[in-house]
Amino acid sequence: MKKLINRPEDVVTEELRGIEAAHPDLVRVNYGPNYIVRADAPLQGKVALVSGGGSGHEPMHGGFVGMGMLDAACPGEVFTSPTPDQMLEATKAVDGGAGVLHIVKNYTGDVMNFDMAAELARGEGIDVESVVIDDDVAVQDSLYTAGRRGVGTTVLAEKICGAAAEERRPLAEVAELCRKVNANGRSMGMALTSCTVPAAGAPTFELGDDEMEIGIGIHGEPGRERRKLAPAAEISRELTEPIVSDVPFAEGDEVLAFVNSMGGTPLIELYVVYNELNRLLSERGIRITRNLIGPYITSLEMAGCSITLLKLDDELTRLWDAPVKTPGLRWGA
């Protein structure tokens, strides 16, 4: 196992210490239970957004804590759900009296623990709503999921709902907006290589030198098909077609196109894929009006990419463009 770490059991704590040291202007870190909150939390009268999930997907979610995005993130161990007490304590730490929205990726452990935390928080008088993101068109059920997995659309939902919360919109509206983003966002990913969980010390799965996995999950869960390597044009088409036909996206639609690195894929390749995606969508009369290109929801050092498309309207576009200031995503501030 080749990693820039010390002891595998200390990776998450040491990462959090690094984040705390690097971004004291943006975030505070709590240890035991582990969570990251905005430096200025709680904000009175603002709906607070809390997300979380296993570590190893950085910058998601801890890198998205800050003005215009999340109020708190709960990191579990690598590829392991955070616990209800993390979520409860984070929820209490950021509640400013206007309620808390839990944005939950659809993995069985995450959903169960966030449900429990929401119940406990309600028991303490905090108004909590939960929205589950399930945007991955690759598979219906999976190793860790009943229903579709939650992937790239989560990043977009956190940004857009974060902007709405900054406008002091009420909890019910921010939750409804989150459901709208989920309803209009679809993703699919692929892997050229596996990745290694530090505590496991060996690759999560094996891929031959001439193989790739289409429809991969962000923990290396099996996708649709393991097949021979193909050119970027073909891979891009195999990711784009199931996405486009699912919502469906149609001629005249304006979309946000998100081309994401799984962690080990360099930017030069993401732009090659973006070029293909742009061509494929142009052919269908679908226009990319916003984009995000880079490593935002990763799987450790896995090589590969995912594509997410979100159908935009004026409201979603305006909220996407609103200022954001987090360690992982920043503009206009």
Using CB under 8 A as the criterion, which residues of the chain lie in contact with its own copies when the complex forms? 2-7, 11-12, 14-19, 21-22, 55-56, 58-59, 63, 78, 192-193, 209, 212, 229, 231-233, 235, 263-275, 278, 288, 291, 293, 295, 298, 300-301, 303-305, 325, 327, 330-333
C-beta of 180: minimal distance to its own copies in Å?
25
Tokens 């998205």 map to which residue? 64
Q: Which CA distances in Å does 292 have to 25, 55, 79, 268?
A: 25, 21, 24, 14
Tell me how far, at minimum, the Cβ of 20 lies from its own copies, in Å: 9
Of 100 and 212, the one with the shorter C-beta distance to its own copies is 212
Q: How far is CA 113 from the centre of its chain?
A: 17
Q: Known catalytic residue: 23?
A: no
Instruction: Tell me how far, at minimum, the Cβ of 212 lies from its own copies, in Å.
Output: 7
Q: Which is nearer to its own copies, 106 or 265 (CB)?
A: 265
102 tagged catalytic: no
SS3 147: coil
Contact 298, 262 (CB under 8 A): yes
Nearest C-alpha neighbor of 34 from the set 103, 95, 101, 80: 80
Closer CB to its own copies, 78 or 103, in the complex: 78
Q: Of the residues 23, 61, 102, 219, which is catalytic?
A: 219
Q: Nearer to its own copies by C-beta: 31 or 271?
A: 271
Contacts with 122 (C-beta within 8 Å, 6 or more apart), sequence order: 128
Beta strand 304-311 with 185-191 is antiparallel
Question: Which of the residues 23, 57, 61, 102 is marked catalytic?
Answer: 57
* Closest CB to its own copies among residues 100, 324: 324
Three-state secondary-structure class, residue 217: coil
Strand order across the 185-191 sheet: 225-228, 211-214, 185-191, 304-311, 254-261, 287-294
CB of 239 to its own copies, least distance (A): 11
Closest approach of Cβ 323 to its own copies, in Å? 10
Phi, psi of 311 (to 5 degrees): -70, 125
d(CA 257, CA 185): 10
Active site residues: 57, 219
